[in-house]
Structure 1
């Protein structure tokens, strides 16, 4: 088996390395909700029949995101991979970094010139860019950008035929901060994920919001059945359930605040948080990561710069276990 990238999770690898059975691990390495949308029993047709585009997913997604200008994709990862193919060759692409690594890989693999930018460097670099990629809130740093700032960047780029790409994979808890509007806008692409907020990363479903010609260009690059019948069915159930969404928002906000408070107690104010994860820059990140992993607690380690990402524990027992693990890391 071959894999081109490393992501959070990877439990089997760590299980083998540390000699701890899979069932004994607590995985807080991702930003995926520990509370999974409770899908009803899967209809047999989801397994038997090929997916169809007129199955009702489009209308449910339009209601949830507030616009019909959407293309379903096999997770926002598929959109990240295909989007660079839809631009003229050798575009100058700025990516605010650190950020989800697949953006850099996808644009560079297609032959574009990629420049990693700090947030403070964007204003100076903007006149030289054709495309600016922003993850908001940023995975993994939890950095947020105001809609006013992002729209200024978009308008600046659009005046020269450029484009702002905003990855909103972790935006669902704060939907009013999304850049999606009822009508698409020139020079603006927004990527959304169903996996994080709904705890349904395994179904591989996301959406691209953009002007129609760009959506058509991405669709032309997709396989005939890029999004499975099961993913389309599950997405319809989750996106339509407003009562559950409200409950999920409330508990994620509370859990995110609890995680931030816990980590702040031990590591001070260096960390940044979203409702789904916290980001802790630390020169001791590798040591903390190893110490926790030896106890069957998996975090996500980053090396440039040295940092850790902590996702949310699922149960009170997990919260206690995480705090005990963090306490054991103290000098």
Structure 2
């Protein structure tokens, strides 16, 4: 591994703090105005309108037909040639926890800083995990993990660079895992899914862009053999009937996605202006969130919380804050007021 790679310590915490923990933040700030505005997640604040769900989706076990229909919709949406190259799971997190169990003990390099569950899941299964800070440092690993676009920095790696890494891993019977949880809002050629390199697994989220995280739905895209292993590990009826119905309808709705892209582009411009006026430097982000840096980040987060606004803090990078997007005009006005006070 690259000399700059940082091995994860055995004494690192087994639990990772995530956004969306409104109950915890409410206890810390009991006098904050209600309702809370949760900007701590990278989830679309205006979700896809849930369609009517057939009664049988609730009353019986999901069948092969429903699962096949969902995978066909996902294949069409992501440009995947064969639905058999896709497996649906109850959230991408489930796939993160299964993948390390399918490999013998290996060296795993995670391009960091990034979503911390990747490293934790591999380490928990006995793999030797390193956090690395550039693409070249992935070269010596058995398994390379990249989040693209990255969470929380928004870094977007070019397709050619990832294809080159995959080729090197293939020669050593290695594996490239690319988490594309936030890529639905980017041009299609930013994704590896439509022309998948060998020795590569692409993970796609449903809940973030469609704003339905509670549905618990995600996908892995890979070779038919890898997908079969994942499907066997997940077992029967892994995805609920209602999730199959919602996902099949939503993934086929290109008009909604087009309108959502346009709305989020405007919202990102608006929040960038607010953050700049508050003296926060925007480091990066995606159409669903912005990452800022400020020496006063802990104070800003504290003052926002006292206004009933929850943003994502990073214990390992105390000068960082991640802002999701408000979902309504009242939220925008409260954020502007709170940022003015914080600045």
TM-score (norm 2): 0.90
Cα distance change of structure 1 residues 101 and 66 upon mapping to structure 2, 3 Å threshold:
same
Alignment of 1:139-150 (within 5 A): 139-150=151-162
Larger deviation, residues 217-226 vs 18-27: 18-27
- Residue of structure 1 in register with 2:36 after alignment: 25
| d(CA) in 1 for partners of 2:72, 2:35 | 42
CA contact (8 A) 1:126 1:157 kept: no
Aligned partner of 1:66 among 57, 76, 79: 79
| d(CA) in 1 for partners of 2:283, 2:336 | 16
Q: Secondary structure at the match of 1:139?
A: coil
Q: Secondary structure at the match of 2:193?
A: coil
- Residue of structure 2 in register with 1:162 after alignment: 174
1:20 CA displacement: 4.6
1:194 CA displacement: 0.5
Q: Secondary structure at the match of 2:185?
A: coil
1:228-278 per-residue CA deviation (whole Å, 9 max, x = no partner) reads 111111101100111111111111122122222321333354421211000
1:132-153 per-residue CA deviation (whole Å, 9 max, x = no partner) reads 1111111111111111221122
1:40 CA displacement: 2.1
Q: Secondary structure at the match of 1:198?
A: coil
| d(CA) in 1 for partners of 2:240, 2:32 | 32
- Residue of structure 1 in register with 2:11 after alignment: none
Cα distance change of structure 1 residues 280 and 57 upon mapping to structure 2, 3 Å threshold:
same
| d(CA) in 2 for partners of 1:313, 1:327 | 16
User: Once superposed, what is the RMSD of the aligned Cα atoms?
Assistant: 1.7
- Residue of structure 1 in register with 2:57 after alignment: 46
- Residue of structure 2 in register with 1:185 after alignment: 197
Q: Secondary structure at the match of 2:183?
A: coil
CA contact (8 A) 1:289 1:298 kept: yes
- Residue of structure 2 in register with 1:93 after alignment: 108
1:27-51 per-residue CA deviation (whole Å, 9 max, x = no partner) reads 1111100111012222211211111
| d(CA) in 1 for partners of 2:65, 2:59 | 17
| d(CA) in 1 for partners of 2:145, 2:60 | 37
Cα distance change of structure 1 residues 287 and 213 upon mapping to structure 2, 3 Å threshold:
same
Aligned partner of 2:131 among 88, 110, 116: 116
- Residue of structure 1 in register with 2:269 after alignment: 257
| d(CA) in 1 for partners of 2:97, 2:294 | 31
| d(CA) in 2 for partners of 1:191, 1:48 | 30
1:75-125 per-residue CA deviation (whole Å, 9 max, x = no partner) reads 111111111111122x11111111111101100011111001112xx31x2
1:4 CA displacement: 5.0
Larger deviation, residues 4-13 vs 291-300: 4-13
CA contact (8 A) 2:19 2:40 kept: yes
* Match status 1:83 vs 2:105: no
| d(CA) in 1 for partners of 2:32, 2:291 | 27
Gaps of 5+ in 2: 1-13
Q: Secondary structure at the match of 2:313?
A: strand
Q: When the two structures are aligned, how many residues end up with a matched partner? A: 323
* Match status 1:15 vs 2:30: no
| d(CA) in 2 for partners of 1:73, 1:275 | 24
Larger deviation, residues 100-109 vs 258-267: 258-267
Q: Secondary structure at the match of 2:279?
A: helix
Gaps of 5+ in 1: none
Q: Secondary structure at the match of 1:24?
A: coil
Aligned partner of 2:211 among 199, 218, 223: 199
